[in-house]
Amino acid sequence: MASFKVTGLRELERALAELPKATAKNTLKRTLKLAAQPIADEAQRLAPRDTGGLAEGIMVTTKKPKKHKPKSGRAFAEIYVGPKAKSRNAVPQEFGTSKSVAQPFMRPAWDSKQNEALEIIKSELGNQITKAAERLARKAARKAAKGA
């Protein structure tokens, strides 16, 4: 599993910190899903077609795969891109076996689209924070109107 850490976005980090924790986490997850989609699309394009639905099974999700072993420390928000957990031929296709040569599709997708994903995070996170703040303001206004 590949991962990277984004640094240098202090203003956005401060804006996220001003939101309630659950709202900030959901805002970050929405942004990460948007950013991960080009990687998933590229992996679908690169996936071998002779393996019974491997390409169609590639997804973007916030749910941890059952076989995922978390690293020490918890990230505030995580996103997973890859084949469904039930896809038995994904790992042999990606890495090969003693009887078949590797046909990687996930790593090349990551390598070619990681910069695009980072750019989406940079451009979209501010928009998502603004939308979340506006939703919270509307909710507070409705609550205040009911209480008045």
Inside any domain, residue 138: yes
What pLDDT sits at residue 44?
A: 92
Q: Confirm whether 53 is domain-assigned.
A: yes
**Domains: count for the chain:** 1
91 by Cβ neighbours in 10 Å (0-12 / 13-18 / 19+) ranks as middle
Q: Is residue 120 part of a domain?
A: yes
Q: Would you say residue 137 lies in a domain?
A: yes
96 inside domain: no
Question: Can you give the residue range of the structural domain that contains 81?
Answer: 10-68+75-86+103-142
Report pLDDT for 33: 94
Q: Tens of pLDDT along the chain (148 residues)?
A: 555 665 656 777 788 888 888 888 899 999 999 999 999 999 999 988 875 678 888 999 888 766 656 565 566 788 889 888 777 788 888 898 999 898 899 999 999 999 999 889 888 888 888 888 898 889 889 888 887 5
What's the CA gap between 135 and 102, in Å, rounded? 47
User: What pLDDT does residue 108 have?
Assistant: 95
Q: Number of helices (H) and strands (E), helices first, in the chain?
A: 4, 2
Looking at the domain assignment, is residue 135 inside a domain? yes
- Is 97 within the bounds of a domain? no
Question: Per the confidence metrics, is the pTM higher than 0.85?
Answer: no
